[in-house]
Structure 1
C-alpha cells in the first residue's frame, strides 16, 4: 500500500482569532481520511504498522493513536486491539448517520408529522430524477421492489418492512446521494411507525389500504419506466399525502422517541 504524502509540519502560530488550530493528531487523521475517501485506501485494507506511520508522518505514538481514535469515531477504521494486524479500513453505511440523526430528532422533540413532512419533501423529487434517468437497470431494480411488495401484501407484518424499503429504494435509485442519505436518516422511524400502523389495522381487520398502496407502487413504476418525470413527481406527492394521513391519523404529535423505544 502506498503511504500518504509524508510529513506533518506545523507552521508558526497564527494570531488568535478565536479558532483553535487543529492538533497534530487531527492533521494525521485528515491525511488518512482523504486517502480513504479518494480510494487510495479501500475497505478491508490494513494501515501500515504504527512504527511505519510514526516515521512517515514524523509523529509520536500518542499523536498517531489520537488520529486513530478520530478515524475510529467516524467509522472509517476498525482497531483490532491486541492483534498484530493493526487498523483496518471500514466504509460506514447510511446507518452510521441514521443513528445519531434519530437521536438528534429525539433530543429536538420532533414528532411524527415532522418526519413524514420531510419524507414528502424527499421522495417526489427522487421519483422525478429516477424517471428521467433513462437507466433500465434502475427501473428494473424498482420493479423488483414492487414484486417483493406484491408477494408480501397478504402478510401484513412483512408488508410493513417491504413497503418501507420500497420508499427507501426509490430514493436510492434516483442517483442523488444526498437525497438517499436523507431518506436513510428517517427510514428507521418510518419503518417503525409503518409496523405500528399495520398492527393496528390488523387488530381491527382493516386491510383495504395495503392493496391500495400496492396499486400506487405499480403506477409509480409505470410512470418511472415511461420516463415521465413530472407525472411521477406529481403522482407520488399525491400518494404520500393520502398515505401519510392514514398512517398518522391520531398520531401526528407522537414523539420520535416514543416510536423508537
Structure 2
C-alpha cells in the first residue's frame, strides 16, 4: 500500500530530478567537520590546526584527502596556509569583508546607484538604534561617546571625516546585537565611506565654513543619539536616527543623484 501511494510522486519526477543523489567526497565531509568546529568556537581565530598526522588519525583519512579538505576551507577563507611553513594552517574567522567585495561587484554589475545604498542603510540603522537602546551596555555607550569625542574630531582634523563618521555608523549597528544587521552594514561600509570621502572633500574645497558647520551638526546629532540610548528611550532613538539618516542622505546625494556604485569603487 505504501509503495502504491508514493509511486505517482516518482512517476512525476523529470529526468534531471530523478538522478541519483551525489555522495559527498570524504574530503568534503572532513571540511564540514572542521568548519563546524570553527563555527562552534572549538577552533578560534588565530588557532593552528593540529598537525597533519593527528588529523589524519582522528578522521581516518589519507594525507591527500586531508589536504583537499584544508584547501576547501582555504577557498572559503576560514583557514590560512602559508606555503613552505611547518606551522600548518591557521584559523581565520572572517568578517563582513569576505562578502563585501562580491556584493559590491554584484551592485556594480546591476548598475546600482549610491542612492540605493544610502536608502538601504536608512532602513537598517534606525532599527539598530532602537535595539541598542533596549539592549546596549554602558560600556558600549561609552565607546560611542569616545568615538564622538576623539575619533570623529581626529578624522575631521586630518581631512578624513568620512573615516570617523563611517566608523561610528558601522559600530552603532555592530553593537545592536543583531548579527544579520551588522553583516549587512559591514557589506555596505566601504561604499558609504568612499562616497562620503569624495563628497566631503568636494564640500571642503568649495565652502569650508559649511563643511565645518556640517561637522558640528554631526557631532551634536551623535551626542543626541547617545543621550537617548543612555535613557533607554528606544522610540526616540529610532525617530532621531531616522531623521539623521534622511537629512544625511539628502546632503550626500545633492549633485550625486545618479552616481553609480562602480563610480565610487573605481
Per-residue CA deviation, residues 206-252 of structure 1 (Å, 9 max, x unaligned), is 31322212211111111111110011001111111111111011212
CA contact (8 A) 1:156 1:202 kept: no
Task: Tell me which moved more, 147-156 or 54-63.
Answer: 147-156
CA contact (8 A) 2:118 2:249 kept: yes
Residue 103 of structure 1: how far off its partner (Å): 1.9
Question: Of the two, which has the highest radius of gyration?
Answer: 2
The answer for the alignment partner of 1:4 in structure 2 is: none
Per-residue CA deviation, residues 137-173 of structure 1 (Å, 9 max, x unaligned), is 1111111121125634753723221011111111111
The answer for the alignment partner of 2:112 in structure 1 is: 110
Name the structure where helix makes up a greater proportion of residues. Answer: 2
Distance 1:137 1:154, change over 3 A: closer
CA contact (8 A) 1:95 1:185 kept: yes
Q: SS at the partner of 1:42?
A: coil
Whether 2:220 is the aligned partner of 1:218: answer: no
Which runs of structure 2 are paired with 1:123-162 in the superposition (5 Å)? 123-148=125-150, 151-152=153-154, 155=157, 157-162=159-164
**What is the count of residue pairs matched by the alignment?**
247
The answer for the alignment partner of 2:9 in structure 1 is: none
Which runs of structure 2 are paired with 1:182-261 in the superposition (5 Å)? 182-205=184-207, 206-207=210-211, 208-261=213-266
Distance 1:77 1:149, change over 3 A: closer
Distance 1:130 1:252, change over 3 A: same
Q: SS at the partner of 2:90?
A: strand
**In 2, Cα distance between equivalents of 1:18 and 1:105:** 37
Residue 23 of structure 1: how far off its partner (Å): 2.3
**In 2, Cα distance between equivalents of 1:138 and 1:48:** 36
Q: Gaps (5+ residues) in structure 2? A: 1-16
CA contact (8 A) 2:45 2:93 kept: yes
**In 1, Cα distance between equivalents of 2:168 and 2:95:** 18
Residue 196 of structure 1: how far off its partner (Å): 0.6
CA contact (8 A) 1:124 1:237 kept: yes
**In 1, Cα distance between equivalents of 2:203 and 2:74:** 43
| RMSD of aligned Cα (Å) | 2.0
